[in-house]
Chains A and B, each alone.
Chain A
Amino acid sequence: MTSPKVISRKTSSKDLDQDYRWGFVTDIESETAPKGLSEDVVRFISQKKEEPEWLLEWRLKAYRHFLTIQDKEPDWAMIKYPKIDLQDMHYYSAPKKQGDGPKSMDEVDPELIAAFDKLGIPIQEQKKLAGVVEEEGEPGEEDGVRPPGAPSQVAVDAVFDSVSVATTYQKMLEEHGVVFCSVSEAVKRVPEIVKKYLGSVVPYTDNYYAALNSAVFSDGSFVYIPKGVRCPIELMTYFRINTLDSGQFERTLIIAEDSSYVSYLEGCTAPMRKSHQLHAAVVELVALDNAEIKYSTLQNWYPGDKEGKGGVYNFVTKRGKCQGVNSKISWTQVETGSAITWKYPSVILQGDNSIGEFYSVALVNNHQQADTGTKMIHIGKNTKSTIVAKGISAGKGQSTYRGLVQILPTAENATNFTQCDSLLVGDKCGAHTVPYIEVRNPTARMEHEASTSKVSDDQLFYCQQRGLDQEEAHYVIINGFCRGIFKELPFEFAMEASQLLKVSLEGTVG
């Protein structure tokens, strides 16, 4: 069981952009590796995390591979940014353990509490997440009393600057044999499982950022659902980048054994910084026979200011493998943050009758750029994939859907349905759709639909004539556009997603 690690935290209000509500900087004393990338840094990280030899070896292999491709940063995406200096950032930053954390919730950042409240996290669990130091034996620590109106339970793992600080609801999860902890902890608790699956879906040779991540990843969440278990509560990781000039390289690994089910959520925020922060995560999912993994993301990394200064570069590799027969992996993402989003949550449909789904809303505003989509690789017989991607471009935002549907010769009777819709707000933004379809089996059935529309003046006038102002009217129309995606999200998350859209659009119209 994770003992709540102790961190102290204060809100610093200077430099905050009013528009970005999550822009508080958490004042944590942290232990940070010197800037720069080297074999020494890789060894430093591994040593800090007290890792076994095999993992250090794996990291070093990844690092050596990275050295061979370090000049080959991917350049095919429709995004523009100055070259990232990998030597000018920190690769490890962990909160220092110390005894003087906040003594009560009164001392904890109210924004953080508000975020947890929205997710319906009980107060006792919130204390753990916020690192509140309490006397031993507080009643109700494990069960946690839910606040009235909280619709369901969520177990949360909070990751600050790539290090997991606390994971809640351990006891309940353990009773079901579910392992939900940080990757570092998993390496100690269930080393065989980590060793078996780490890099099995996204090998370090996969791409530039995956290689970098494999060498220097500092933490992330690990989930293991045993055979036949339906995980009783939603599992959630709350990611936050905090330290200045630090890259965040977390790694998530989820394994669902035969006939198991899990719904996993991730929420991401970052403080406002004038410089860019790199976030290069890797997520691997494995679903065995008859297993189902539902993975939902609300990505709200700091998008930069109105002039495009600052903001997170989000270069993420997410992939799931439907390894077993009748398995199912479903990605749902709502992307409103980051200066640049480069991410393609994909599914390898290996098991016969397996199902892959991708539901996405990507909103870009001001100078944000998003190149996002999915890959559905059909290998097994009767495999089925569904892609519904909604892109919203406002301000000077540029949004690209890029997707690959590949039907391999072995994939008898595979089917795919793809729908890509773009909505433009204003006349300075752009939307692009780049679908790739490769069919190597004649029994495949493919459907592709695409549309581009603009919020019309007539629609706006109609809403205004009913009493809504321009901003509310845009919000209503855009929310309607996204409805098909929001219904795929767990209820609390759908509310949050809708709210995020509203905040992201503030000040752009009218």
Chain B
Amino acid sequence: MASNNGAKQPLLEVRDLHVVVAGTNTEILKGVDLTVNLGEVHAIMGPNGSGKSTLVNVIAGRPDYEVTSGEVLLHGQDVLAMLPEVRAREGMFLAFQYPLELPGVRPWQFLKAAVDAVRKHRGETEVSAREFDQMYKAAAIEMGLKPELAKRAMNEGFSGGEKKRNEMVQLALLNPKLALLDETDSGLDIDALKTVAEAVNNRRGPERSILLVTHYQRLLNYIKPDFVHVLVSGRIAVSGGPELAHELESKGYDWVKETAAAG
């Protein structure tokens, strides 16, 4: 399902992307092609080690990887030439698989600085403390994050589920054009999974695209993607609609591997 019946507007374009682990010859992505149009939700699935997390991290600019060839465009602009913070300010958000702890850094101050950085980039004024306070509280309530966690340091001493919910709070506050969700479902109990899925669904719309990476079909019961891609050994082996996820569930990744090898 595209954003509408008219001309599709590409938000993210990945062209023949080749990536190695920085400073090595170990190639992880071996020519990935992908187009995500505005308003679409895409799911990247694949077995462990297929490169699906690498893909979203490279798009966000993680320094552990090196792009050897290919291109990534956001709204037609060369993403690979941008610093990670510029990509963020341009509307890209990565929900981390393993959110980092920032000892002593209060979430409130940290996220206000982040929101202000994005606003400044857009030529807008800083958000007032009062306004941000309301935004922050609303987001924390929506994501089911206990208010007392705001008094602690960023992700410090948070449970796995709390960290993921905290990532969703940031998604809500930063209001990105492109949300990259890296295995956001891993380590979540069913209640947390539902909250996260609902939060993502609430943010679907013609002005936003979502690219989510998941190992299991479980998350896709709650977030219905427009497209599913299966990444095997650094390449997209097969793409299809939401039904592909169900097929994978019943047949397993070996079926895709065999199909890819036969193809």
Contacts and interface: CB of A to CB of B under 8 A. Distances in A.
Interface of A: 456-459, 461-470, 472, 476-477, 479-484
15 contacts: A458-B100, A461-B61, A462-B102, A465-B93, A466-B88, A466-B117, A467-B89, A467-B117, A467-B118, A468-B85, A480-B103, A480-B105, A480-B153, A481-B103, A483-B105
Q: Which 4 A-B pairs have the closest CB atoms?
A: A480-B104, A480-B105, A467-B117, A466-B114
A472 B113 contact: yes
B85 A483 contact: no
Nearest to A481: B104
Interface residue SS majority, chain A = helix
A158 B153 CA distance: 38
A509 to B, nearest CB: 13
Interface string B127-160: 0000000000000000000000000011000000
A459 B96 CA distance: 12
A464 B87 CA distance: 9
A477 B105 contact: yes
Contacts of A464: 61, 83-85, 88
Interface in B52-86: 60-64, 83-85
B127 to A, nearest CB: 13
Contacts of B85: 464-465, 467-470
Most buried by B among A458, A466, A484: A466
B246 interface: no
Contact of A462 (B83, B100, B109, B111): B100
Contact of B104 (A461, A463, A484): A484
A466 B104 CA distance: 17
Given A467-B174, A480-B102, A484-B104, A461 B63 contact: yes
B160 to A, nearest CB: 16
B94 interface: yes
- Chain B interface: which size bin? 20 to 34
Given A470-B85, A480-B104, A480-B153, 6 more contacts: A459-B100, A465-B88, A466-B174, A469-B83, A472-B117, A477-B102
Contacts of A456: 100
Nearest to B93: A465
Nearest to A482: B104
Contacts of A476: 102, 105, 109-110, 113
B214 interface: no
B237 to A, nearest CB: 28
B104 A479 contact: yes
B105 A479 contact: yes
B57 to A, nearest CB: 9
Contact of B94 (A465, A468, A472, A477): A465
B175 to A, nearest CB: 12
Interface of B: 60-64, 83-85, 87-89, 93-94, 96, 99-100, 102-106, 109-111, 113-114, 117-118, 121, 153-154, 170, 174
Contacts of A479: 104-105
A188 to B, nearest CB: 47
B99 A462 contact: yes
B243 to A, nearest CB: 33
Most buried by B among A462, A469, A472: A462
A188 B64 CA distance: 68
Contacts of A458: 100
Contacts of B100: 456, 458-459, 462
Nearest to A456: B100
Contacts of B174: 466-467
A466 B110 contact: yes
Nearest to A421: B103
A412 B23 CA distance: 59
A270 B252 CA distance: 71
A234 B83 CA distance: 46
A464 B62 CA distance: 9
Nearest to B88: A467
Contacts of B99: 462
Contacts of B88: 464-467
A454 to B, nearest CB: 12
A470 B113 CA distance: 13
Contacts of B102: 459, 462-463, 476-477, 480
Contacts of A480: 102-106, 153-154
Contacts of B62: 461
Contacts of B106: 480, 483
A108 to B, nearest CB: 31
Contact of B61 (A463, A465, A470): A465
Nearest to B87: A465
Contacts of B60: 465
A329 B96 CA distance: 45
A464 B103 CA distance: 16
A456 B102 CA distance: 10
A468 B103 contact: no
A473 B96 CA distance: 17
Contacts of A463: 102, 110
Contacts of B96: 462, 465
Contacts of B83: 464, 469
A319 B111 CA distance: 41
Given A476-B102, A481-B104, A466 B170 contact: yes
Contact of B114 (A461, A468, A477, A481): A468
Contacts of B111: 466
Contacts of A465: 60-61, 84-85, 87-88, 93-94, 96
Contact of A467 (B103, B104, B114, B153): B114
A470 to B, nearest CB: 8
B83 to A, nearest CB: 7
Nearest to A510: B83
Contact of B113 (A468, A481, A484): A468
A434 to B, nearest CB: 24
A484 B156 CA distance: 15
Contacts of A457: 63-64
